[in-house]
Homo-oligomer: A and B are copies of this chain.
Amino acid sequence: MVAATQSLDELCINSIRFLAIDAIEQAKSGHPGLPMGAAPMAFVLWDRFMRFNPKNPQWFNRDRFVLSAGHGSMLQYALLYLTGYDSVTLDDMKGFRQWGSRTPGHPENFETPGVEVTTGPLGQGIANGVGLAMAEAHLAAKFNKPDAEIVDHYTYVILGDGCNMEGISGEACSLAGHYGLGKLIALYDDNHISIDGSTDVAFTEDVSKRFESYGWHVIHVEDGNTDLEAIASAIAAAKAVTDKPSMIKVTTTIGYGAPNKQNTAGIHGAALGGEEIKLTRENLGWNYEPFEIPTDALDHARKAIERGASHEAGWNQTFATYKTQYPAEAAEFEQLLSGSLPEGWDAVLPTYTPADAAMATRKHSEKCLNLLAPGLPGLIGGSADLTHSNLTELKGLGDFQKGQYGNRNIHFGVREHAMGAICNGMALHGSGLIPYGATFLIFTDYMRAAIRLSALSLAGSIWVMTHDSIGQGEDGPTHQPIETLASLRAIPNLTVIRPADGNECSGAYKVAIDRAANHNPTLLAFTRQNVPNLAGTSLAGVAQGAYTIVDCDGTPDLILIGTGSEVSLCVTAAEKLALDGTKVRVVSMPAWDLFDVQDAAYQESVLPKAVTKRVAVEAASSFGWHKYVGTEGATVTIDRFGASAPGGTVMEKFGFTVDNVLATAKAVLG
């Protein structure tokens, strides 16, 4: 493999390889195999095709790059460094995987400018890529004019065998094929090795044929190690096919260049060690010190800076023309890109009084979505095949389909996990879109990894979850959440809101949209069944997480705390207890984490420490409630799986009745 004189391309590619080798050796931790094998395809892509501005990583019209095989993070860091981003210096790479570095173990968009999405959990990146491409297609359809195409970029994804084994990638790629996302180009690093050894032990399907079955355009580069022109031709061919996404299978050798470790699982996820590094240097003719990059390579790669400035300048000119010709559209576009919400967007949120008819909170949600959509052009989303159960259709705004990308209702199919990652991708497109994804609350279990990533990676997705308790009814225990709320509340930075009625639904959307604009996700839990509108509820109360909706004179003897459909039980029970002279307060607590961040004085005003007799009522697990009811309190909750029967029956049989709340309250009062 030794090249007497290396071309500039080879110098750059080997620079990537040795930056990965050296950084991982220094950290004694990391995954050198992928960067060494995928360096050629990545460098050809970044050097010859990708349009980006290293000095402005947020330039809107940049091509998006996703390293779905996130364990190969050093590939991306090396590319960022070589092409001149300020976010990754040589020192950053020397601090690879160390405390406080900008080069964490897996790419994290919130740590390192130039990284678009957070990858590592396999399959998420390619599904994020589908979301990024959908965002581009949507905005292009909405804003482009024949004489001024202001939205026009590709989404490139490098994924590996692991990504291709994960179900989420199948879901997302099937949908991408359905939508015909021509500007999505995936490069599959076909290296035949995963952690357990040869992919022969578990993964012998025909991946290309599978992608063809999804409707993708598929190309094979047989020698991804050295045939740079074949890689370039394949990418060019992929770009030329505009009505289908393209998958380029690039056959490579994992850990290419390491004479004893290449093509073994041993190089997938461990440093090479001094001796093998020495042999690899010899083998690849690399006479440079650790972290030393040949000047020629750096000069060549950093031409990206000049190119990038020119791309951005060209786009700025196009946009200037656009702004002159289409001032109204330009204003909407700029509003979106600003990330701030249009003035007064929340004025449409309705309020209710107890005189208004009882209604399921999922219907309140439908009303909110449809009232908000006209004033929030970034709001876009849909359901995983439960549109008319989740009630998430934006009426009159059309279906997002091939050739109809400007529409705002997305049919995700029965693909919850991909839906989650696609929404995250759309949010992280950074163009003011506010994506929402919907299914039954119980099926958050299918998309939990994506929900967690929305919270970790600051993706302002909104998760619209209906059928939020055993009140779901006849579908039975497979469809009835018990532990689901607790499991979601436990996720850091995910606000979970379970509104009690119409006012609280409006308040829930107020919080969720505000959070989305601030790059934080929110999960909304709505009932299937009707709930009455209560006195005392309010939009503002939701933002405080918990608040008093029924109070007594003086210090309460008892506090009843409810959420969602059970708040009305608390209110009725309180009325009955008051008749006997018991002083009862009712607290509605739609969002635990929002209450937890209120100041101590507010918390004390709602749940005074001195009042230790407390009962929480929620048709869900007791798990976590002891924080609020304490050791002298009690809960009316359900710590077993549900049962199939009409919702009202199930609720009654499991004790979600006024009588049982009263009995529990009396037991606590002693």
Listed in ascending order, the chain A residues whose CB lies under 8 Å from chain B are 27, 29-30, 70-71, 97-101, 104-106, 108, 118-122, 161-162, 165-171, 174-175, 177-178, 194-196, 199, 201-210, 212-215, 383, 385-389, 399, 401, 411-418, 442-443, 445-446, 448-449, 452-453, 455-456, 473-479, 482-483, 486-493, 609, 612, 621, 623-624, 626-627, 630-631, 639-641, 643-646, 649-650, 653
Neighbour of A105 across the interface among B119, B475, B492, CB < 8 A? B475
Least distance between A578 CB and chain B CB atoms (Å): 26
Chain B residues contacting A399 (CB-CB under 8 Å) are 201
Give the docked Cα–Cα distance between A13 and B445 (Å): 36
Indicate if the CB atoms of B456 and A641 lie closer than 8 Å. Answer: yes
Least distance between A551 CB and chain B CB atoms (Å): 22
Q: Give me the 7 closest cross-chain CB pairs, A-B, nearest first.
A: A167-B167, A104-B644, A202-B413, A487-B487, A483-B490, A120-B478, A99-B645
Chain B residues contacting A640 (CB-CB under 8 Å) are 492-493
Indicate if the CB atoms of A388 and B99 lie closer than 8 Å. Answer: no
Least distance between A51 CB and chain B CB atoms (Å): 28
- Take A120-B479, A483-B491 as given contacts and tell me if A206 and B195 are in contact as well, using a CB distance cutoff of 8 Å: no
Least distance between A437 CB and chain B CB atoms (Å): 13
24 sample A-B contacts, Cβ–Cβ < 8 Å, listed by A number: A27-B474, A29-B646, A71-B475, A98-B649, A101-B644, A104-B643, A106-B475, A106-B479, A120-B475, A121-B446, A161-B414, A165-B171, A167-B170, A167-B418, A178-B203, A178-B204, A195-B387, A199-B413, A202-B385, A207-B213, A213-B213, A453-B478, A483-B491, A624-B626
Chain B residues contacting A385 (CB-CB under 8 Å) are 162, 165, 194-196, 202
Neighbour of A630 across the interface among B101, B178, B631, CB < 8 A? B631
Give the docked Cα–Cα distance between A386 and B202 (Å): 12
Q: Which residue of chain B has its CB nearest to the CB of A627?
A: B626
Chain B residues contacting A30 (CB-CB under 8 Å) are 474
- Take A108-B476, A170-B170, A443-B121 as given contacts and tell me if A178 and B202 are in contact as well, using a CB distance cutoff of 8 Å: yes
Least distance between A627 CB and chain B CB atoms (Å): 4
Give the docked Cα–Cα distance between A493 and B456 (Å): 29
Q: Which residue of chain B has its CB nearest to the CB of A207?
A: B213
Chain B residues contacting A452 (CB-CB under 8 Å) are 445, 483
Indicate if the CB atoms of A449 and B453 lie closer than 8 Å. Answer: no
Chain B residues contacting A416 (CB-CB under 8 Å) are 166
Least distance between A40 CB and chain B CB atoms (Å): 24
- Take A167-B418, A196-B387, A446-B121 as given contacts and tell me if A105 and B474 are in contact as well, using a CB distance cutoff of 8 Å: yes
Indicate if the CB atoms of A653 and B478 lie closer than 8 Å. Answer: no
Chain B residues contacting A646 (CB-CB under 8 Å) are 29, 97-99
Least distance between A279 CB and chain B CB atoms (Å): 24
Least distance between A375 CB and chain B CB atoms (Å): 26
- Take A448-B448, A478-B106, A483-B491 as given contacts and tell me if A414 and B165 are in contact as well, using a CB distance cutoff of 8 Å: yes
Indicate if the CB atoms of B202 and A623 lie closer than 8 Å. Answer: no
Indicate if the CB atoms of A482 and B478 lie closer than 8 Å. Answer: no
Q: Which residue of chain B has its CB nearest to the CB of A162?
A: B414
Chain B residues contacting A487 (CB-CB under 8 Å) are 448, 483, 486-488, 490-491
Neighbour of A413 across the interface among B121, B203, B412, B624, CB < 8 A? B203
Chain B residues contacting A165 (CB-CB under 8 Å) are 171, 174, 385, 413-415
Indicate if the CB atoms of B120 and A201 lie closer than 8 Å. Answer: no
Indicate if the CB atoms of A209 and B213 lie closer than 8 Å. Answer: yes
Least distance between A325 CB and chain B CB atoms (Å): 35
Neighbour of A29 across the interface among B97, B213, B473, CB < 8 A? B473
Chain B residues contacting A199 (CB-CB under 8 Å) are 413
Give the docked Cα–Cα distance between A205 and B208 (Å): 14
Indicate if the CB atoms of B476 and A653 lie closer than 8 Å. Answer: no
Least distance between A442 CB and chain B CB atoms (Å): 8
Indicate if the CB atoms of B493 and A641 lie closer than 8 Å. Answer: yes
Give the docked Cα–Cα distance between A488 and B174 (Å): 31
Chain B residues contacting A383 (CB-CB under 8 Å) are 196
Chain B residues contacting A491 (CB-CB under 8 Å) are 483, 487
Give the docked Cα–Cα distance between A418 and B30 (Å): 27
Q: Which residue of chain B has its CB nearest to the CB of A161?
A: B414
Give the docked Cα–Cα distance between A646 and B456 (Å): 20
Least distance between A470 CB and chain B CB atoms (Å): 12
Indicate if the CB atoms of A204 and B215 lie closer than 8 Å. Answer: yes
Indicate if the CB atoms of A166 and B490 lie closer than 8 Å. Answer: no
Least distance between A463 CB and chain B CB atoms (Å): 14
Give the docked Cα–Cα distance between A199 and B175 (Å): 12
Q: Which residue of chain B has its CB nearest to the CB of A440?
A: B121
Indicate if the CB atoms of B482 and A492 lie closer than 8 Å. Answer: yes
Indicate if the CB atoms of B478 and A456 lie closer than 8 Å. Answer: yes
Least distance between A488 CB and chain B CB atoms (Å): 8
Give the docked Cα–Cα distance between A350 and B652 (Å): 49
Give the docked Cα–Cα distance between A71 and B29 (Å): 48
Give the docked Cα–Cα distance between A453 and B207 (Å): 30
Least distance between A193 CB and chain B CB atoms (Å): 11
Give the docked Cα–Cα distance between A389 and B269 (Å): 11
Give the docked Cα–Cα distance between A474 and B23 (Å): 13
Give the docked Cα–Cα distance between A383 and B475 (Å): 33
Chain B residues contacting A196 (CB-CB under 8 Å) are 383, 385-388, 411, 413
Chain B residues contacting A201 (CB-CB under 8 Å) are 399, 401, 411, 413
Least distance between A667 CB and chain B CB atoms (Å): 16
Indicate if the CB atoms of A492 and B639 lie closer than 8 Å. Answer: yes
Indicate if the CB atoms of A626 and B623 lie closer than 8 Å. Answer: no
Indicate if the CB atoms of A478 and B621 lie closer than 8 Å. Answer: no
Additional pairs, 11, CB under 8 Å, beyond known A105-B478, A213-B213, A492-B639: A106-B476, A121-B443, A165-B171, A177-B204, A194-B414, A196-B385, A204-B215, A205-B213, A445-B449, A486-B623, A624-B624
Give the docked Cα–Cα distance between A188 and B647 (Å): 32
Give the docked Cα–Cα distance between A389 and B29 (Å): 14
Indicate if the CB atoms of A99 and B643 lie closer than 8 Å. Answer: yes
